[in-house]
Structure 1
Amino acid sequence: MNRTKIKRRVGKYEVGRTIGEGTFAKVKFARNSETGDSVAIKILDKDKVLKHKMAEQIKREIATMKLIRHPHVVQLYEVMGSKTKIFIVLEFVTGGELFDKIVNHGRMHEEEARKYFQQLIHTVDYCHSRGVYHRDLKPENLLLDASGDLKVSDFGLSALSQQVRDDGLLHTTCGTPNYVAPEVLNDRGYDGATADLWSCGVILFVLLAGYLPFDDSNLMNLYNKISAAEFTCPPWISFGAMKLITRILDPNPTTRITVAEILEDEWFKKDYKPPVFDEIEDANLDDVEAVFKDSEEYHVTERREEKPTSMNAFELISMSQGLNLGNLFDEQGFKRETRFTSKCPANEIISKIEEAAKPLGFDVSKKNYKMRLQNLKAGRKGNLNVATEVFQVAPSLHMVEVRKAKGDTLEFHKFYKNLSTCLDKVVWKTEQDMEEKK
């Protein structure tokens, strides 16, 4: 590997690896060089935003998000602009996705599921009361902090993938269809608040059942099941929880249960302790205005510094799970991205991944030591996209990052299990690993 790795700085932030991707945005890990704090930076392309006539909407949503300080919402710290980009600086949440718990340990006990559902409903209610709707609640947007509490991401920033038409209603059919309300799918416009509640109902079902209420590999069949609210609760879900889920997953938005009614529900109220926190009265919104001004004085400086391709020890430690790099099959901390190390040459690793991915139904595109694998099976949970990159750690040791770029998290876990079986011979195993396999 003779390529160089570019070190990028945006204002006071050192920008690192990509941790997420969306239609309009990329999310990168970054570090505040003044305080040493970790943040996530959502990077938007200004031209795309202006082309889709979204500038005013994004400005409004970012301004609103700066006014929201809720313990279960990922905090928006500041927003910056360069000539071509918009940078939204967000709180970096370390505990992974809520749904990783289900992937690793199966469905949740009712007490645990209820705790997360209570946190979710309090958050949704608080944001709705301030005119902020999520419109795209799904597993990827439900994170956990270091204490294991819920942090909802992208609240109010979903305008980046949605549109409001002249009738004042929202119109979208993008995102993961399994979590989307029937009125959203029929594209006659919908109310953001009732649509958010439907998604909360699907999330509660998944926490308690360990699988989706509406699922079909055929997209039309899936739409029909959602429109008719055709689902069955498994026998282990209690009657109280089942009754609540049924009232939330009402295909008619006008008769669907409201947040006020959920707060009075007997199953929901058990052990409910709403969070106590200080609301902010005022926030500085100067940076929101400055982002869209063309004058150079408002632009943040972007600098690129070339660095050798090999990863330094600090980066390696920060990316690894307790430094046990060789363990491909470790399910602890199994997130929307995972890594393994290999002593094979980089080109051989790329070829092996390609060989393994094609029979699984993936189209492969390659550039340098990066690959993009796209599931050709149309419509299934929004086409799974997987990004991989090979890094050089030492002259004869490479680290491979496998990351979900698009699609459903549970689907990514399934794909990765299949891939890991095919790559068994590529992965570097220590003597200890060999002993454990005997």
Structure 2
Amino acid sequence: METPTCGPYECLRVIGKGGFSEVHLAKHMETGDMVALKVMMEMGVDLEIVRSEVRSLEHLSHPNIISLVDSCEDATFMNSNCQEMNVMYIALELAAAGDLCNIILLSGRFPEDLARYYFHQLLEGVDYLHSRGISHRDLKPENLMLDADMNLKLADFGFSSTQALNETLKGTGGYMAPEIYTGLEYSGHCVDLFAAGVILFIMVAGTPPFKESKSTDPHYKTFPGNRKDLFWRFHTKRREGGLEFFSDDFRDLISSLLSVDPHVRPSMAEIRAHPWYNGPVPTQEEVQEEMEKRKQIIDESNDQSSQKAPETYTAKTIYRGCSGKDEAPNMSAIRKLAQYTPGITKYTQFYSTFDEDTLLATLTQFCEEFSLDYEVNDEEYKAKIEFGTKMVDVTLQVSILEVDETKRCIEFFKLRGAIFDFIEAYKMIKGFFGGQADTTLDD
């Protein structure tokens, strides 16, 4: 197989997926510079979203905002089969340590001082945006990347806006402020600070505060009902120390940031003057040490060599596609085991010393037993898996990659759904393979 290329870049490895896009770890073929290359197929992609992201990034320069390296609306992508297609791409600064969300969900919630360190960096990036008349409108832990020094970088500006007031329903459910749902004009700056409050809660609690900021949500409805005491009682009833699990200042800041009325929420200046914001903060060296410790725990858990082989699989196993049709695996097809390429930290993956056919069979067996629907590509050793329950509602892709002659990587990408559901699905599948599913540092 040939290494895919896109314009002047060699695409080494897929590190993220979206509806009409893929993010590749890529290397410039002349300079050797490494980038995160967001490649978008022209068919189906919203061109204005792409242009909005480029416009927002091309004049920004801040240590807590991902940098734009290059962009092109008319490029040629050549895949591993030497087939060409027209695409658009955005080349971005590489955030080598991955995203903040996966570290929290796979290693456990942050103590308040560590959360404060990253909340400071988050607000520095947001304040810089706002000072230049830009609102992000899609702040969430998945869009908070970490560089090699474990510093936070805001990413994904596809929903950003330069308008003082907006009306469009943009954002991600769970992080969108209540005024966005009304269809009336809202301040992009205010909704960014609401989302920052949700992110801060997740950093300290390890769980989301609610599913949606609507009066129908069982947890958020305590805000318009002026019963924030019930909100905190719910989120502390199973935690050590009860209500005192969170500091008084933390509860006060979160309660004000998540207020229904945007005029009641604190401004950027008021947040910075708040007692919780001005509490103790670890040094950069202490943060790096703590984050490396968490990363090492996740890496050690993922580097398993004792995954179980399936006990019941035979060559007659049926591969059922999303169409509902049953198809026998194509044993005569030319198999294409993609090569694993290091270069960026990805936490939702694990390793095995079993061969790729055994691993694909195990994955198929899992799909038969636990998924709502699935589609296995036995030629490229990957599967699209759909879950649809109250507990887990997500669609993901699982790929098997070759690390070396004796080691394989099983890598996961979220295609649809909430990140919390994605992590639960990842843990389920990892556990089915015999890997250690729980690596958290929670109390």
1:261 equivalent in alignment to 2:257: no
Task: Name the SS for the 2:56 alignment partner.
Answer: helix
Distance in 1 of aligned mates of 2:404 and 2:248: 57
Unaligned runs of 5+ in 2: 76-85, 237-243, 285-334, 436-443
> In structure 2, what is the equivalent of residue 158 of structure 1?
159
The structure-2 alpha-carbon separation of the partners of 1:361 and 1:45, relative to structure 1 and needing over 3 Å to count, comes to: same
> In structure 2, what is the equivalent of residue 97 of structure 1?
99
1:403 equivalent in alignment to 2:413: yes
Among 7, 12, 15, the residue aligned to 2:11: 15
Distance in 2 of aligned mates of 1:385 and 1:163: 33
1:26 equivalent in alignment to 2:38: no
The structure-2 alpha-carbon separation of the partners of 1:422 and 1:252, relative to structure 1 and needing over 3 Å to count, comes to: same
1:43-102 alpha-carbon deviations (Å, 9 max, x no partner): 2233434xx5x43x6435413311101101111111113263211000111112223333
Among 161, 164, 168, the residue aligned to 1:171: 168
Task: Name the SS for the 1:269 alignment partner.
Answer: coil
Q: How does 1:33-52 map to 2 (within 5 A)?
A: 33-49=29-45, 52=46
Distance in 2 of aligned mates of 1:385 and 1:374: 4
> In structure 2, what is the equivalent of residue 181 of structure 1?
177
Q: How many residues align?
A: 359
> In structure 2, what is the equivalent of residue 237 of structure 1?
246
TM-score, normalised by the number of residues in structure 1 = 0.72
> In structure 2, what is the equivalent of residue 375 of structure 1?
387
Among 54, 75, 90, the residue aligned to 1:62: 54
Task: Name the SS for the 1:246 alignment partner.
Answer: helix
Distance in 2 of aligned mates of 1:210 and 1:352: 31
Unaligned runs of 5+ in 1: 276-307, 320-332, 428-438
TM-score, normalised by the number of residues in structure 2 = 0.71
> In structure 2, what is the equivalent of residue 322 of structure 1?
none
Report if the CA contact (8 A) 1:73-1:153 is conserved: yes
1:354 equivalent in alignment to 2:364: yes
The structure-2 alpha-carbon separation of the partners of 1:77 and 1:109, relative to structure 1 and needing over 3 Å to count, comes to: same
Distance in 2 of aligned mates of 1:253 and 1:267: 20
**Percent identity over paired residues:** 27
Distance in 2 of aligned mates of 1:227 and 1:172: 21
1:319-374 alpha-carbon deviations (Å, 9 max, x no partner): 8xxxxxxxxxxxxx772x3032343452x433321321344343201233221112
> In structure 2, what is the equivalent of residue 338 of structure 1?
349
Cα-Cα RMSD = 3.5
The structure-2 alpha-carbon separation of the partners of 1:399 and 1:137, relative to structure 1 and needing over 3 Å to count, comes to: same
> In structure 2, what is the equivalent of residue 194 of structure 1?
190
Distance in 1 of aligned mates of 2:60 and 2:342: 34
Report if the CA contact (8 A) 2:215-2:224 is conserved: no
Give the C-alpha shift of residue 24 in structure 1.
Answer: 4.3
Q: Work out which structure has the larger RCO, using CA pairs closer than 8 Å and 6 or more positions apart in sequence.
A: 1
Report if the CA contact (8 A) 1:361-1:377 is conserved: no
Distance in 2 of aligned mates of 1:66 and 1:8: 26
1:133 equivalent in alignment to 2:150: no
Distance in 1 of aligned mates of 2:98 and 2:349: 12
> In structure 2, what is the equivalent of residue 283 of structure 1?
none
1:417 equivalent in alignment to 2:398: no
Report if the CA contact (8 A) 2:387-2:394 is conserved: yes
Distance in 2 of aligned mates of 1:209 and 1:67: 35
